[in-house]
Amino acid sequence: MRRSAFIFLLFLSLAGYGQQTINNFKYVLLPEKFGFAHEEDQYGLNSLAKTLLEQKGFTVYFDNALVPKELAGNRCNVLTADVTQRKSMFVTNLTLFLKDCRGNILFKSKEGKSREKEFMPAYNLALRDAFTSLDAVPYAYDSTANVATTATAVATPAAAAPAVPVATPAATPVVAQTRDASGTLYAQATPTGYQLIDTAPKIVLTLFRTSLPDDYIANNGVANGIVLKKNGNWYFEYYKDGQLISEQLLIKF
């Protein structure tokens, strides 16, 4: 009788597990290199995906970073993000997937597209286009609905020892290393955005338009990132050696 009850509870738990949604998850693990890429964070795509997922409300870690104990102890409490590419001659096509620990797809975006000829803006715009599908899906983390933990606990026949509460740090925004503006830059319009030049004159930054008026994909010849406006000031933000750098810019448009 006890065995039958255990099997029944296990069946209910696994049935609930199959009905999970993204609302069951607080954390997302993101690779530092997508399968179609040749290097880590190529074209700034992984950093962009991390930013967009955090804007949605998830707490995001790269898959080789230190993670909280609640993740390390049970990877079924975390979603895994992936981006795939469908090759096409004149169009960049990217699709976002969010999967659970068993490989079940809980979210698949539309195929984001871009017809830009330059690789960096093409990949960035295609990824942003794919993420518009996620924007349309309501998300609010529900800790009481995370049946992954419940299923794991019920499936263990032996009586579990009382859980010892473990204090986990609250999710906090990424702390950026800030740098002051080094001089005025002058914006020259291009078909895809702007190029910022100094008084030399030398091109310091190339900006590519996005769907947001004060948000640009940016490249300085060494780093890929974004240029955005915060509190009335412009900043170039990018990652260097795992550290977020935020450089203030003085731009004359």
pLDDT digits (tens, 9 = 90+) for 49-67: 999 999 999 999 998 777 7
The residues, any chain, with a CB within 8 Å of residue 97's CB and separated by 6 or more, are 81, 82, 83, 84, 105, 107, 108, 109
The residue-averaged pLDDT of 141-162 equals: 50
Name the CA radius of gyration of the chain, rounded.
22
Q: What is the pLDDT of residue 13?
A: 43
pLDDT at 157: 41
Full-model pTM: 0.59
Distances (CA, A) of 245 to 29, 60, 64: 22, 18, 20
Q: Which residue has the higher pLDDT, 69 or 5?
A: 69
d(Cα 126, Cα 39) in Å, to the nearest integer?
A: 18
Q: What is the pLDDT of residue 159?
A: 41
- The domain boundary residue, chosen from 94, 122, 154: 154
Average pLDDT, the chain: 80
Q: Using the predicted structure, report yes or no on whether residue 32 has a pLDDT greater than 80.
A: yes
184 and 149 in one domain?
Answer: no
Strand partners for 27: 59, 78
Q: Are residues 12 and 63 in the same domain?
A: yes
How do residues 92-103 score in pLDDT, each as one tens digit?
A: 999 999 999 888
Number of domains into which the chain is organized: 2
Over residues 164-182, the mean pLDDT reads 63
Positions of E strands within the chain: 27-30, 59-62, 78-86, 92-99, 105-108, 112-114, 177-179, 184-190, 193-197, 203-209, 215-219, 224-230, 233-240, 243-252
Residue 168 lies in a domain: no
Report d(CA 178, CA 236) in Å as an integer.
10
pLDDT of 174 > 90? The answer is no
Lowest mean pLDDT among 101-110, 154-163, 171-180, 191-200: 154-163
Mean pLDDT of 133-157: 65
Q: What is the pLDDT of residue 29?
A: 92
CB distance 205 to 174 below 8 Å:
no
Q: Which residue range is the domain that position 150 belongs to?
A: 2-154
Q: What CATH number did the domain enclosing 40 receive?
A: 3.40.50
Q: What percent of the chain has pLDDT over 90?
A: 35
Verify that 20 and 129 share a domain, yes or no: yes
Residue 230 pLDDT: 87
Q: What's the mean pLDDT in 209-218? A: 85
Check whether residue 110 and residue 188 sit in a common domain: no
Judge whether residue 145 has pLDDT over 90.
no
Burial 223-247 (b: 16+ CB within 10 A, else e): bbbbbbeeeeebbbbbbeeeebbbb
Q: Is 161 or 211 the better-scoring residue by pLDDT?
A: 211
Q: Which pLDDT belongs to residue 58? A: 93
Same domain, 118 and 190: no
Q: What is the pLDDT of residue 126?
A: 93
Six-digit token pair at 19? Answer: 């009905």
